[in-house]
Structure 1
Amino acid sequence: MSGHDAVGRRAFVVGAGAALFTGGTATNAEAAVVEGPLPDFHAALKAELTFPLAWGRSPIRDFRAWRRAARAKVEELLLVDRDERTPYAPEFGGRSEADGYTRELVTLSLTRHERVRGALLTPHGRGPFPAVLLLHDHGARFDIGKEKLVRPWYDDTRAAAAQGWADKYFSGRFVGDELARRGHVVLCLDALGWGDRGPLTYDQQQALAANFYNLGSSLAGLTAHEDARAAGFLAALDRVDARRIAAVGFSMGAFRAWQTAALSDHIGAAAAVCWMTGLKEMMVPGNNTLRGQSAYYMLHPGLPRFLDFPDVASIAAPRPMLFLDGGLDPLFPADGVRVAHDKLRAVWRSRHAEKRLRLTTWPDLGHVFTAPMQDEVFTWLDTVL
C-alpha cells in the first residue's frame, strides 16, 4: 500500500450510529463529521478489540498448540480452500544469462483456477542454494508487479516503468537481481491485478474485492493463500535448499512476507520493510488505510476480533524475522510501529529467542527501501540463512 494512491480524503457524515450510545434517535448535534471515513462510533468499536487469541492473552499456554490454533483461525478467515492440492505443473521458458545468475520465466498453478507467470533467478554455481520468495508492493501501480523487483528482461515495454519504480523506491536497484547476484534463488510472482494478471485500476479494487465476497471468497485470502503455495513450490525445487528459504518484501510486500511466514513452515526467515503497525493505532482519521481500495488486499474479515497484525506475525516465532520501518513513513504512525514492536519483542522473548528478532527504525527515512536498507537485509539474510 502506498501513500501515492490517487484519491483525496473526504469528509463523511455518519452520525446515525450515535443513537446506539444515547438510547434515542441521533440528532444533528450528536452526528459527527469524521475524516477518513470512519463511523462516528469508531472509538467504541476499537475499544471492543481486545485480540483474545494473541499469545499471552489466549488461554492456550503451550506455544506450539497456540501457533496451531492461531494459524487455523487465520486460515479459516482467508475464505479459500485450505486443502489446495493442485499440482504446480511448472513450465519454464524465456531463459537468459545475466551477471552471475540465470533468469527464466516459470508458469505454474498456485490454485486450480489459474496459471500464474513469474520470474525465477538462479545463481551460477553448484546448488542447492538459499532462496528468497520476493513479494512485490502495491503502490497503486498495476501495470508492473514482479517487474518492480526483477528487471524485466523478457518485456522491453515494461522496462522503463520498472526502472522508474526502482529509481523511486529502491535507489535504482532491482532487489531480486541483487539477491540472485549474491547467491540466492529468487522467485517473484504477480499478485492478482498486477503485471500479467492485470492491469487493474485503482478504483476497480473495491468492486473486485466485493465480488470475491459475493462469491464466498476473499481477495486478501487468495493473495495470502497463493503466497503460501508459492513458498511450497520454491521449497520443492531441486536447486533450492529447503531449510534456507526467506520471504522478503516492501510495503504491501512486507505485509505479505510476514503473513507468509505465519502461514507456511517452508519459510525459515522473513524480512519486512515498511509494513508493521498495531491495528488500532493505524485506524485513525486521515490514515491511508481508511481510503479503502488498496486495503482490500490486506483485509481479512473478522480477523481483528481475534488477532492484531503483530499477533499474526508472531505465529512465525521463534524463526528469525527482521522488521525495518521508516521513522518518517506517513502510512504507519510511530506509535503504531512502537506498539507492534513491543508485542513482537514480548513473543520472541517468551521463546528465549530475542536475538532472532531484529526491529529497526531508520529515523530519517519515509516509505522507501533504499540501498543502505537493502544492504542491511542482505547482510542479515547471510547471517540467518
Structure 2
Amino acid sequence: MENQMKALLDTLYHAKTKQRRWNASDFLTGNTSFEVWRSSLLTTLKEALAFPSCPHDLKLTLSQAQMQPFGTLARMTYLSEEGLYTPAYLLTPHHVDESTPVILCLHGHGLGCKDIVGLCPQESYQKRFARKACEAGMIVVAPEMAGFGELRLPEELESGDAHQSSCHRLAMNLLACGRSLLGMRVNQAMRALDVMQQLYAGHPMGIMGISGGATVSVLTMALDQRLCAGVISGYANTFADSILAMRHCVDNYWPDMIGQMEMPDLLCTIAPRPMLWETGSQDPIYPQLAARKAADIVFHCYEQEHAETHFEVDAFKGGHEIHGERAFSFLKEYCTVS
C-alpha cells in the first residue's frame, strides 16, 4: 500500500511544477528571450532569499600573514550585515601579479572554513580544496558560513562537538523573522566579493563550493556577475531527486522554491559564464544519474548561448566529496583578465 504522506508530497510537487513560473523550456523553445527570462527569475529569487540591508563600510580587519609552504595564510573579519562579523582566511600563493585569479571558496557541513584551508588534522570529504586552489597558484578567500565553526549558537559551541551545526535553529528563527539562512549566507559570500575587490582590484574572480557551500556558490554566481567562472561540487542536480527525495538539512530551502523553478532552471541562469560540475557515482544525497539529467538541460542552454565549451561535468567514481581532477585548472583557464 502506498504511503499517503509520500503520495501527498508527490502530488504537491507535481501541482507546483505545473504552475512553475520559470522553466528553461520557455526560452529553449523560443517563447521568450534568455535575457528576459533570466532577469525575471533572478529578481524573484533575490526577493525570496530576503537579503539584509548591508552597511557601506566592510570594517575589514586583517591579521599579519603567516608563512606556509604554499605562500601565506592570514585571518580576516568583515562586516557582512549589521551585527554579523564574518571571519575568513586569506591564502596567497608565492607569486602574484595583476592576472592572478582570486577564488571564493565555500565550505559545506563540517568544521567550517578551517577545514578547507588545511587547519584540521584530518582531511574530510572537502579535501582541503581551498588550500589546494592556492597551491595551484590562485589567491583564495574562505569565509565562515553562518551556522558553522565560530558562527554557531552557544548551545552548539558549548556542546563539545565541533561538527554540530546551528543550521536548524538559525534557519527557523530567520524564517520566523521573514529572512532565510540561505539569504544570510549568500550575502556573506557577496560581501566577501566586496573584500576581494577592495584587496585585489582588477583581478578576475571565481568561486568554488562543495555541498552546502556549492548551494551558496550557485546562488551567488547566479546573482553576482562579478564572478568569471565557478566549480560546483556535490550539488548540481534536480530538487526532486535530491533535497526533496530524502532527508536534507533545512539550510537548503527557501519559500515556494518549486513554484518558482527547478534546480536546472536556476543553473541555467549562470550561462554563458564557465561552470564545472563535480558529481560522484556513489553520492547518496545528490545522485549522479539525476545530475546527468540536469546537465542535459543546462548544456542546451549553453549551446543556445553559443557557449557549450564553457560547461563541463566531471562525473567521477566516488562519493559526496571534492574530486579536484579538473577543478583547479578549470578556474585558472577561465578566470582571466578580459
TM (norm. structure 1) is 0.77
Supply the distance in 2 between the matched residues of 1:70 and 1:341 (Cα, whole angstroms).
19
- Matched residues, number: 322
Contact 1:86–1:112 (8 Å) recurs in 2 = no
Contact 1:150–1:176 (8 Å) recurs in 2 = yes
Percent of pairs identical after alignment? 20
Supply the distance in 2 between the matched residues of 1:236 and 1:283 (Cα, whole angstroms).
36
Contact 1:232–1:266 (8 Å) recurs in 2 = no
Q: Following superposition of structure 1 onto structure 2, how do residues 49-198 of structure 1 map, counting pairs within 5 Å? A: 49-50=17-18, 51-57=20-26, 61-81=32-52, 84-128=54-98, 129-138=100-109, 141=110, 144-152=111-119, 162-164=120-122, 166=123, 168-170=124-126, 173-198=127-152
- Structure 1 residue aligned with 2:232, among 257, 272, 295? 272
Q: Alignment partner of 1:288: what SS?
A: coil
Q: Following superposition of structure 1 onto structure 2, how do residues 212-291 of structure 1 map, counting pairs within 5 Å? A: 212-238=174-200, 241-242=202-203, 244-282=204-242, 287-289=246-248
Residue 231 of structure 1 and its aligned partner are, at CA, apart by 2.1
Residue 340 of structure 1 and its aligned partner are, at CA, apart by 1.2
Gaps of 5+ in 2: 157-162
Supply the distance in 2 between the matched residues of 1:149 and 1:378 (Cα, whole angstroms).
14
Residue 195 of structure 1 and its aligned partner are, at CA, apart by 1.3
Contact 2:104–2:140 (8 Å) recurs in 1 = yes
Q: Closer, same or farther in 2 for the Cα pair 1:203/1:222, shift >3 Å?
A: closer
- Structure 1 residue aligned with 2:318, among 365, 374, 380? 365
Contact 2:147–2:170 (8 Å) recurs in 1 = no
Correspondence for 1:158:
none
Contact 2:148–2:165 (8 Å) recurs in 1 = no
- Structure 2 residue aligned with 1:317, among 271, 278, 300? 271
Instruction: Note the alpha carbon deviations across 1:195-242, whole angstroms, 9 max, x for none.
Output: 12126475853332221111121112211222222223213323x543
What RMSD in Å do the two structures reach over aligned CA positions?
2.3
Supply the distance in 1 between the matched residues of 2:215 and 2:167 (Cα, whole angstroms).
18
Q: Closer, same or farther in 2 for the Cα pair 1:235/1:65, shift >3 Å?
A: farther
Q: Closer, same or farther in 2 for the Cα pair 1:327/1:317, shift >3 Å?
A: same
Please identify the structure whose Cα radius of gyration is greater.
1
Supply the distance in 2 between the matched residues of 1:179 and 1:377 (Cα, whole angstroms).
9
Q: Alignment partner of 2:320: what SS?
A: coil
Supply the distance in 2 between the matched residues of 1:46 and 1:382 (Cα, whole angstroms).
40
TM (norm. structure 2) is 0.87
Q: Closer, same or farther in 2 for the Cα pair 1:284/1:175, shift >3 Å?
A: closer
Residue 174 of structure 1 and its aligned partner are, at CA, apart by 2.4
Q: Closer, same or farther in 2 for the Cα pair 1:117/1:207, shift >3 Å?
A: closer
Correspondence for 1:157:
none
Instruction: Note the alpha carbon deviations across 1:150-192, whole angstroms, 9 max, x for none.
Output: 123xxxxxxxxx232x2x425xx52222222222110001111
Higher mean alpha-carbon deviation, 185-194 vs 331-340, is at: 331-340
Supply the distance in 2 between the matched residues of 1:212 and 1:74 (Cα, whole angstroms).
17
Supply the distance in 2 between the matched residues of 1:100 and 1:33 (Cα, whole angstroms).
54
Contact 1:133–1:248 (8 Å) recurs in 2 = yes
Gaps of 5+ in 1: 1-28, 153-161
